[in-house]
A = this chain, B = another copy of it.
Amino acid sequence: MPHHSILDILPEQLRKEAMEKIQVMRFPAGQVLFSAGEHCQGLPLVLQGSVKVQMTGVSGHSIVLYRMGKDDICTLSIGCLMTGRGYRAEAVVEEEGEAAIIPRGVFDRLMDQSPAFRLGIMESYGRRLDDLMLLVEEVAFHRMDERLEEWLQARASRGVIAITHQELAVELGTAREVVSRLLKELERQKMVRLSRGKIELTGLLDSSVLAGA
């Protein structure tokens, strides 16, 4: 049974109608939900799991723009749905999960009939704009070593993070060599221990150790 907060708030009658036409799909980790240039069939709601959205620029470099998790709405799709233009970014499943796809017609009907649905869409959109604005600031003005440490810190609870330097470079929008250099420096400072495809957090950041406790 699909469960998503923006569907839960719908009045009973509308919810039933919508449910009939929504298809729920299960996605394994690594699956590409959509890629750049593709056209959009409906609005995806993330029910479970996590999805990263990244774009590749004309320069050929890639950067992760944001992530979606349980209860998120793929706001990016709304623009594509409305303008008919293809996606500019690509979405890849990180943790396997499931998504419900709301077809265009149902989306239009929900937007027409439910003020609460509209509010949910608009809020989600506001959050996405905020995320992107913060990312611009981050990329433009923050030092790479700080950004790397913050990224690791945010995942400190894992203990060991399974990621290659190349993937980490895409997360931060930089070059693999830069990540390698900075990680090596962190290792010298006994903050991390490195091995092929893995980063083990050792001394990093008291606060996160406390948070994990």
Q: Is the CB of A129 within 8 A of B76?
A: yes
Closest to A174 in B: B140
How many copies of this chain does the complex contain? 2
Interface of A is mostly: helix
Asked whether any CB of chain B lies closer than 8 Å to the CB of A65, the reply is yes
Q: List 30 A-B contacts (CB under 8 A).
A: A55-B136, A55-B137, A57-B138, A57-B140, A57-B141, A57-B142, A58-B137, A63-B137, A63-B140, A63-B141, A65-B136, A78-B125, A79-B127, A79-B129, A81-B122, A82-B119, A82-B123, A82-B126, A83-B126, A83-B127, A88-B130, A89-B133, A108-B115, A111-B115, A112-B118, A132-B132, A132-B136, A136-B173, A140-B173, A140-B174
